[in-house]
Amino acid sequence: MPIVWMTISTATVPEVEQFRDDPEGLRARIRDVVAAVQVERGRPRAELRELYFEVDRPVAHAFVENLDDFSDMKAIGRYFGAEDMVKLIRVEQAVEAVQRERGIRDRLVPNSGPAAT
């Protein structure tokens, strides 16, 4: 289950600015857009889990789960004018990544320098 932590300015993009004083409305809009993009691509699994707001600046952070298609990530990020998008994985997935990395190392021949002529 990939997780995307998206940072969104609530003061710049017209699609978001209209919700500047409506946090519940912005949460509903992000939830709807995430669901719509996934349905269009035949993958209705992604879901906005929660939306958080910074205290000292007009910025929101969307916590989206199962948004695993990079094209969908890009489309949603562009729509909301995302300033940053962090892709996260759970502990179990990190363990799997470590095991895969070890497998890659085990399959590769150690580099012994320039090829002999």
Rounded CA separation 43/26 (Å): 22
Domain residue spans of the chain: 3-107
Query: Looking at the predicted structure, is the pLDDT value of residue 65 above 70?
Result: yes
Residue 111's pLDDT is 66
Residue 56's pLDDT is 95
Query: Nearest Cα to 80, choosing from 30, 31, 5?
Result: 30
Its CATH architecture, for the domain 3-107, is 2-Layer Sandwich (3.30)
Cα–Cα distance list, 112 to 77, 101, 107, 115 (Å)? 44, 20, 15, 8
Strand locations in 3-117, DSSP E? 3-9, 47-53, 59-65, 82-88
**Which pTM does this prediction carry?**
0.80
Residue 8's pLDDT is 95
Query: Looking at the predicted structure, is the pLDDT value of residue 113 above 60?
Result: no
Residue 41's pLDDT is 64
